[in-house]
């Protein structure tokens, strides 16, 4: 049943069903128009569609806050939808919990210790007269339809108390007693309101003692018979754009610094600034970096899921700042190799931190765009790292260039310290009974398509070096255009993923379209490779980067939507691990084929087939998770 135009939508976790049902019934009894799925969805109606229609039609939303609802993906989606549609959001604090970041600017109604007072404040802010009398003993009405995991209780007989005349002016004796009113005329009531609820206007004269609300007896609540202070108004400020997007901008700067730190060593070595290492020693340094980067990513993600975003990210950048500074201070090849390996340990936190930041701070319909913005720091570093650090190495030394990179990281740390109050501090919440396991099939499906689909991005610079080998001065142009293709892909597919998420469309078909497009580029890439036609090769490389960005953003977005929120950073870390592992396995073969004149076409074929393999694995492994309904239609895998 659709909600009335002025209804208030109740958003809650299934673990809090009893409290949500009690609150909704009390509000309805007092005259408020509220919509609760347990009461207002009739048998035979489609649950997800009814929830979506009610949320769309309601101008207000009550969010019942508890440890369970804070970790509920569906409650989070309902909050996101309400904020995007500029609806009034009223947090109801039911149990002690870490209030979500996006709800902290909103004044909440506290029900933890005094249910009656919280109800009175809530009624006042819903424009309902709070001075109503609820029966001292009531049998809660049964919902029209129960959630699947709850069994309905047998209805109990209801006996009405005989009507009594109102008492005359009360005597000035000790504690005033609650005033009973005449029984109102019976009128037809909705089927979900019990017949023993009595709602009457307050007929008392101005000097009469106040009418009191009797709270329902619970194990922790006793009937309230003493006067309470007058209701307080709730002001609902809007979440500022800075609070939502500042962490995302911080992640963009973080990826810029991480890619700069990752590439500065190779950049300076290839420019013959680093003369302390042989080719074999440089290879050992890069190998140590790759191994620690690959192995540390899942552990950074696991820590962020348990401890929150702020502290692990700060720890990671402190580690890599010290490692960068150690590059300039190391006086022996062994220490330099060790410093570069430790650099990989710190930089490994970049992708889990970016994913955790957008999940914690952005609404569901903006997260993929936030990911795209955060990821643009990598291609920007590819373009600007050389103009920044090579002149410093020429003017001073390569050691000072590394020290300067460490100083830039310290500036970022200062910015991160300023954002501490903005970043959500919530740690891990208890798992929900309906949520998917961390090792669900959707987890492996998106890890597979991410790791195989992003392979072309790893080898695009090998293509560039092979094609531009005849004209070294053209490499800057290649880096600019390919980086532009990657940035365009991040932002375009971020916008597309955010557009599809509320519609319930999963990206299976998009993965296959991207794979086919990559295969169609192979003949053109072979022609450009044989003829060394830069005007043809560079746009093709930019297209390849655009397609690779699509795999990255769509895989992360689908994983965030399908997996429990408490596992998203770990999911991102495993994606990074799998991508680095597949890159390490295939890199020797593809690089050797590219360096062989006749083997280049085979390298293009291998790189184009790997994303198709990822799309097939996603199609085989992905499933529709079983969970309680969200405000959006059930997501289905597209074929």
Q: Is the predicted pLDDT of residue 570 greater than 90, yes or no?
A: yes
Q: List phi, psi (to 5°) of 333.
A: -60, -35
What DSSP character marks residue 176?
Answer: P
The tally of domains found in the chain comes to 3
pLDDT reported for residue 145: 44
- What's the pLDDT band for 191 if we cut at 50, 70, 90? very low
Residue 555 lies in a domain: yes
Q: How many CA atoms lie within 13 A of 368 on its CB side?
A: 29
In the sheet with 109-110, reading across from the earlier edge strand, the strands are: 34-35, 8-11, 60-65, 88-93, 109-110
- What's the pLDDT band for 162 if we cut at 50, 70, 90? very low
Judge contact between 636 and 562, C-beta under 8 A.
Answer: no
Largest Cα separation within the chain, whole Å, is 106
* Cα distances (Å, whole numbers) of residue 73 to 12, 396, 452, 564, 626: 11, 52, 28, 7, 13
Residue 631 lies in a domain: no
Q: What is the crossing angle of helices 508-531 and 455-467, to 10°? A: 10
- The stretch 474-489 carries a mean pLDDT of 84
Residues 409, 310 share a domain: yes
Residues 192, 113 share a domain: yes
pLDDT reported for residue 535: 74
Q: List phi, psi (to 5°) of 152.
A: -70, 145
Residues 290, 162 share a domain: no
Residues 83, 207 share a domain: yes
- What's the pLDDT band for 297 if we cut at 50, 70, 90? very high
Distance in angstroms (rounded) separating the CA atoms of residues 582 and 587: 8
Judge contact between 56 and 9, C-beta under 8 A.
Answer: no
Residues 204, 259 share a domain: no
Residue 558 lies in a domain: yes
Domain of 466?
440-623
Long-range contacts of 585-593 (CB under 8 A, 24+ apart): 586/455, 586/610, 587/458, 587/459, 590/459, 590/462, 591/459, 591/462
Kind and range of the H or E element at 43? none
Residue 420 lies in a domain: no
Judge contact between 518 and 611, C-beta under 8 A.
Answer: yes
Residues 157, 255 share a domain: no
- The stretch 297-309 carries a mean pLDDT of 94
Residues 182, 310 share a domain: no
Distance in angstroms (rounded) separating the CA atoms of residues 108 and 92: 6
Judge contact between 263 and 381, C-beta under 8 A.
Answer: yes
Long-range contacts of 162-168 (CB under 8 A, 24+ apart): 166/203
Residue 47 lies in a domain: yes
Percent of the chain with pLDDT over 70: 71
* Residue 185, domain CATH: 3.40.50.10140
pLDDT reported for residue 240: 62
69 closest CA partner among 107, 19, 12, 148: 12
- The stretch 86-93 carries a mean pLDDT of 90
Neighbours of 404 (CB within 10 A): 18
Residues 285, 223 share a domain: no
Strands (E), 41-131: 60-65, 88-93, 109-110
- The stretch 87-106 carries a mean pLDDT of 87
624 closest CA partner among 471, 463, 538, 506: 506
The token pair at 49 is: 């569609």
Residues 279, 164 share a domain: no
Distance in angstroms (rounded) separating the CA atoms of residues 81 and 543: 34
216 closest CA partner among 111, 128, 121, 144: 111
- What's the pLDDT band for 252 if we cut at 50, 70, 90? very high
- The stretch 67-82 carries a mean pLDDT of 86
Residue 284 lies in a domain: yes
What 3-state class would DSSP assign to 332? coil
Residues 496, 362 share a domain: no
- What's the pLDDT band for 467 if we cut at 50, 70, 90? low
Residue 422 lies in a domain: no
38 closest CA partner among 74, 11, 64: 11
Distance in angstroms (rounded) separating the CA atoms of residues 223 and 106: 29
Q: Which residue has the higher pLDDT, 60 or 423?
A: 60
Q: Is the predicted pLDDT of residue 639 greater than 70, yes or no?
A: no
pLDDT reported for residue 576: 96
Choose the weakest-confidence range: 72-81, 186-195, 536-545. 186-195
Choose the weakest-confidence range: 204-208, 378-382, 517-521, 583-587. 204-208
Q: Is the predicted pLDDT of residue 79 greater than 50, yes or no?
A: yes
Residues 264, 297 share a domain: yes
Residue 31 lies in a domain: yes
Q: What tens digit of pLDDT does each residue of 579-638 get?
A: 999 999 998 888 788 776 555 678 888 888 999 999 999 999 998 764 444 444 434 444
* Residue 244, domain CATH: 1.20.1250.20
- The stretch 402-424 carries a mean pLDDT of 86
- State the virtual CA torsion across 525, 528, 533, 534 in degrees, nearest 10: 20
Residues 273, 221 share a domain: no
Distance in angstroms (rounded) separating the CA atoms of residues 244 and 635: 26
Domain boundary among 218, 239, 260: 239
pTM of the model: 0.66
- What's the pLDDT band for 429 if we cut at 50, 70, 90? very low
Q: What share of the chain is helix, strand, coil (3-state, %, to 5)?
A: 60, 5, 35
Neighbours of 188 (CB within 10 A): 5
End-to-end CA distance of the chain: 32
What 3-state class would DSSP assign to 108? coil
* Cα distances (Å, whole numbers) of residue 230 to 90, 118, 174, 212, 412: 19, 11, 21, 12, 48
Q: Is the predicted pLDDT of residue 275 greater than 70, yes or no?
A: no
Distance in angstroms (rounded) separating the CA atoms of residues 348 and 290: 9
Neighbours of 112 (CB within 10 A): 14
Task: Match 């019990």 to its residue by tokens.
Answer: 194
């Amino acid at each position: 049943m659709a909600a009335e135009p002025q209804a208030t939508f109740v958003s809650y976790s299934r673990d809090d069903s009893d409290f949500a049902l009690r609150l909704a019934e009390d509000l309805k009894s007092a005259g408020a128009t509220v919509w609760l799925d347990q009461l207002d969805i009739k048998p035979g109606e489609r649950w997800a569609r009814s929830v979506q229609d009610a949320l769309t039609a309601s101008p207000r939303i009550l969010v019942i806050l508890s440890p369970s609802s804070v970790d509920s993906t569906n409650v989070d989606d309902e909050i996101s939808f309400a904020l995007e549609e500029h609806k009034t959001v009223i947090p109801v604090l039911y149990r002690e919990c870490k209030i979500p970041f996006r709800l902290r600017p909103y004044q909440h109604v506290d029900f933890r210790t005094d249910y009656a007072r919280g109800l009175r404040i809530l009624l006042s802010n819903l424009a309902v007269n709070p001075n109503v009398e609820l029966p001292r003993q009531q049998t809660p009405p049964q919902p029209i339809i129960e959630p699947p995991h709850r069994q309905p209780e047998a209805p109990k007989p209801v006996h009405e108390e005989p009507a009594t005349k109102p008492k005359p002016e009360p005597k000035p004796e000790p504690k005033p007693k609650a005033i009973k009113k005449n029984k109102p005329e019976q009128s037809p009531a909705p089927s979900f309101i019990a017949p023993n609820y009595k709602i009457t206007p307050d007929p008392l004269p101005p000097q009469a003692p106040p009418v009191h609300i009797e709270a329902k007896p619970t194990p922790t609540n006793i009937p309230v018979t003493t006067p309470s202070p007058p209701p307080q108004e709730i002001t609902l400020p809007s979440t500022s754009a800075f609070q939502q997007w500042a962490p995302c901008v911080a992640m963009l700067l973080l990826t810029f610094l991480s890619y700069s730190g990752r590439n500065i060593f190779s950049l300076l070595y290839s420019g013959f600034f680093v003369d302390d290492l042989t080719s074999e020693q440089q290879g050992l340094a890069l190998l140590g970096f790759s191994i620690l980067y690959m192995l540390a990513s899942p552990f950074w993600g696991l820590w962020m899921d348990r401890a929150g975003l702020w502290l692990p990210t700060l720890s990671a950048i402190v580690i890599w700042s010290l490692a960068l500074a150690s590059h300039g201070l190391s006086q022996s090849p062994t220490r330099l190799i060790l410093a570069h390996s430790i650099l990989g340990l710190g930089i490994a936190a970049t992708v889990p931190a970016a994913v955790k930041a957008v999940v914690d701070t952005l609404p569901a319909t903006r997260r993929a765009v936030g990911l795209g913005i955060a990821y643009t720091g990598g291609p920007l570093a590819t373009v600007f790292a050389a103009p920044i650090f090579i002149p410093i190495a020429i003017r001073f030394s390569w050691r000072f260039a590394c020290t300067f990179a460490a100083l830039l990281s310290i500036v970022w740390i200062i910015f991160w310290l300023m954002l501490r109050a903005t970043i959500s501090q919530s740690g891990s919440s208890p798992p929900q009974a309906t949520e998917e396991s961390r090792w669900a099939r959707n987890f492996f499906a998106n890890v597979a398509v991410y790791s195989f689909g992003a392979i072309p991005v790893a080898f695009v610079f090998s293509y560039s070096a092979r094609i531009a080998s005849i004209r070294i001065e053209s490499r800057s142009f290649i880096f600019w255009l390919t980086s532009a293709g990657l940035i365009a892909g991040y932002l375009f597919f971020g916008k597309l993923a955010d557009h599809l998420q509320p519609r319930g469309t999963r990206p299976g078909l998009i993965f296959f379209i991207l794979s086919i497009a990559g295969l169609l580029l192979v003949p053109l890439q072979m022609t450009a490779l044989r003829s060394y036609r830069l005007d043809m090769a560079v746009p093709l490389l930019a297209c390849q980067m655009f397609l690779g960005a699509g795999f990255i953003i769509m895989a992360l977005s689908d994983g965030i939507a399908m997996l429990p929120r408490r596992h998203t950073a770990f999911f991102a870390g495993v994606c990074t691990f799998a991508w680095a592992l597949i890159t390490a396995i295939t890199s020797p073969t593809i690089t050797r084929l590219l360096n062989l004149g006749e083997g280049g076409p085979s390298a293009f074929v291998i790189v184009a087939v790997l994303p198709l393999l990822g799309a097939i694995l996603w199609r085989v492994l992905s499933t529709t998770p079983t969970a309680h309904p969200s405000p959006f239609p059930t997501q289905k895998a597209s074929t």
